[in-house]
Structures are given as structure tokens and as C-alpha cells.
Structure 1
Amino acid sequence: MENFEQAKKILKDAELIYTAEQIQNTIDQLAQQINQNLKHLNQPVIVMPIMNGGLILSGQLITRLKFPIEIDYIHATRYRNKTTGSDLQWKVKPQNSLKDRVLLIIDDIFDEGHTLQSVIDYCKSENAAQIYSAVLVEKKHPRPKAKIKCDFVGMHVEDRYVFGFGMDYKGYHRNLNAIYAVNE
């Protein structure tokens, strides 16, 4: 319950970064970019959100995709309801065979890229044919990032702790339809 009380206070004092309308417009733009790049494929794409953060974005994004898809998911986390990351913990790996398949991995935020890098490395080890990635938010900061780049990025945020629209504060506020930053 301590996290719950903290989360309520954090939201009350938070700064609105992106409104629900801005996010919906961004998802439209992401879908348009993805459709342009993947509509030519001659096989269905396996769309795989990284749980839990990628759930909200993927649920709204897939309804805008104009090509055949299959849905699977990955549950891998570094945060475990905390505000700093640690070693990656795999909870669920994809159920479908990834061999010779085209994948679209969806996540909420690209911070340093360690989670996405590990997921992509796993998919490569399973012999996926092509791997694309989409994130709602990429964080701008001077810290070293993984050696990957996201194929599709919706928005950018400064180096602040953000939450809402899939991103959490200690396990809470993923369900918010806007993005907020913690005021420190």
C-alpha cells in the first residue's frame, strides 16, 4: 500500500507532458509509418508487445494496421514496479515459433534500450527473418544506450521519470490516457 499512496501523491503533483489527443495523433502517425513499411510483406507479421508497458500502445496500434498480423507477446522486465532498472527478468517468452518470421516488437518507452536489445537478441537467436520495433516514447539523455535503434518512434521526452499510457510509477498509472512527468 505504500506504493499506492506514493503513486496518488505523485500523480497529484505531476506535470502533464502529452495529452490524450496528442498521443492518439501520434499513434495514427506511427500506424501510417508502419503500414507504409510493412504492407508489402508476403507473410503475416507477428506483433509482440513487451508486457506490461507495451500492452496499451499495442492494443490501440494494431487496430490501425492494414496488413495481416498474428499476435503473441513477451513478458520481460527490468523494473519490477520500481523506478530504476536492474537485470532483465524473463517471465514469458513468445509462444509462436519465430523461425523465418517477420516480427513487430512494441514497447512503451526506449530509455537506454537494454530490454529491447535483449528481446531482439532473443528473437535473432530464434532465427526470426526480420525484426522491427516500435515505441511510443524515446527518452533523450546523454547516458549510453544499447546499440540498437527503434524503427518507429512516436514521441520524445526529456530525461525525466514519465508515466501513463503503459508506463508505470511503481506499478500504478499505466492506465492513464496521457503522459506525465514526476516533479522532483
Structure 2
Amino acid sequence: MPTDTAPRDLAQALASAEVIHDRAVIEQAIAMMAKKVHDDYRESVPVYLTVMHGGLPFAAQLAMEVGALGLDLEFDYLHASRYRGETSGGELVWKHRPVTPLQGRRVLLADDILDEGHTMAAITAWCREQGAIDVRIAVLAVKVHDRCVPGMCADYVGVEVPDRYVFGYGMDYHEQGRNLPAIYALK
């Protein structure tokens, strides 16, 4: 049962939301991130783990930009969530763990947003437990506030978003709107 009073209809949400970053801004930010990723991984083929579902649109575009620069990636994915359609997080739930062995490998995690960082901290710790020698984080967006898990930050960031409920470009509004080609914030 929903714990908030926000409308669950995507059309209503869009009518009362503002565009924070449009598609052109997002695509430019991802292209800039790709150059940094390429430079950092130029001598290796990292395991590229997409964090499902939200990370999928961003991860796909970043992978294509990195590939255009000549860097190969070994693809896999994971599915871990604390939100499950709600607006605030709960206990971490693993739905799928990567099957690619991480022992001795460099890992690049790709996700839609770094908010407080609880989910990403757990995922990063799991990768290290699996023997990854280097774990880095690429996120499309970082939410600007002072509630982050201490020490948790992304290595590659596309854009910043305000401390509001944001959706689009992988981020959902009650499991809707992940495929919107912009980032919106509720007013």
C-alpha cells in the first residue's frame, strides 16, 4: 500500500513536474563521462555491471559512447533494489547477481542515480567480497543533499539533480516513466 499521497498517474505527475535536464544536456554529459571512463580503463576490459532496471537507459548509452572511443567492456548486470516502486527505500533485495566472475577484475557499476548511497554501498561491498580489485561507480545523476552514506560517492557523474523526487531517463515514477528522454522533478 502506498505510504505517500502523491498521485500514481504518470500523466498527472508530468503535468505537475518540471524538466530538470533535457535529452541534449544528458547526452552531452554522458559523452563527457565516456571520455573519462575511456582514459581510466584504457589498458583493461572492465566488467561493466548495469544496475537494473533504472541504470539500463544510461548504461546502454554510456557503453556505446565508450565503445565509440575504442574501449571494450564485458557486460553483465545485477538487480538489487531498496525502493520496489515506492518513493523511499527499505531493505536491500537482491533479484539477480552477476554470473561473471569478479575475482581479480576491475568493475564499473552503471546506475541511474546516487541518492543516499545505501544500495550502491551494499553493491560495492558485494563486488569487493567477490574479489574485484577495483570497483568504480558511474551514475547519470547525483542528488544534491547532505544525507549520503559516509564515503560513498560516484567516480563518474553526468548531472546533479535537486533533493526532490526525480524521474525519467531510467528513474521511475511508481514503476512508470523510465523511458522518458529527460529528467523531471516533482514540484
| TM-score normalised to structure 1 length | 0.93
Structure 1 segments unaligned to the other structure (5+ residues):
none
More divergent stretch after superposition (147-156 vs 174-183): 147-156
Q: Name 2:48's counterpart in structure 1.
A: 47
Whole-Å separation in 1 of the counterparts to 2:35 and 2:150:
26
Is 1:111–1:145's contact at 8 Å kept on the other side of the alignment? no
Secondary structure in structure 2 of the residue aligned to 1:136: strand
Q: Name 2:65's counterpart in structure 1.
A: 64
2:149 pairs, out of 120, 145, 149, with 145
Deviations 1:30-54 (A, max 9, x none): 101111111123xx21100110111
Is 2:117–2:148's contact at 8 Å kept on the other side of the alignment? no
- Go from structure 1 to structure 2 and tell me whether the alpha carbon gap of 1:144 and 1:129 turns closer, same or farther (over 3 Å shift): closer
Whole-Å separation in 1 of the counterparts to 2:11 and 2:150:
33
RMSD: 1.6
Matched, 1:96 2:100: yes
Secondary structure in structure 1 of the residue aligned to 2:15: helix
Is 1:4–1:172's contact at 8 Å kept on the other side of the alignment? no
Q: Name 2:158's counterpart in structure 1.
A: 154
Matched, 1:21 2:9: no
Deviations 1:65-116 (A, max 9, x none): 1312110001000100111111110000001111011111000000000111
The aligned amino acid for 1:156 is E
Identity %, equivalent residues:
37
Whole-Å separation in 2 of the counterparts to 1:36 and 1:81:
36
Q: Offset at 1:5?
A: 5.1
Matched, 1:132 2:133: no
Q: Name 1:172's counterpart in structure 2.
A: 176
Q: Offset at 1:142?
A: 2.2
Consecutive aligned runs of 4 or more in structure 1 exceeding 6 Å deviation: none
- Go from structure 1 to structure 2 and tell me whether the alpha carbon gap of 1:172 and 1:94 turns closer, same or farther (over 3 Å shift): same
Deviations 1:4-52 (A, max 9, x none): 95222001211010011000101101101111111123xx211001101
Secondary structure in structure 1 of the residue aligned to 2:9: helix
Q: Name 1:118's counterpart in structure 2.
A: 122
Q: Name 1:73's counterpart in structure 2.
A: 77
More divergent stretch after superposition (138-147 vs 47-56): 138-147
Q: Name 1:86's counterpart in structure 2.
A: 90
The aligned amino acid for 1:35 is H
Q: Name 2:37's counterpart in structure 1.
A: 34
The aligned amino acid for 2:53 is N
Q: Offset at 1:144?
A: 4.0
| TM-score normalised to structure 2 length | 0.92
Secondary structure in structure 2 of the residue aligned to 1:72: strand
Count of residues paired in the alignment: 180
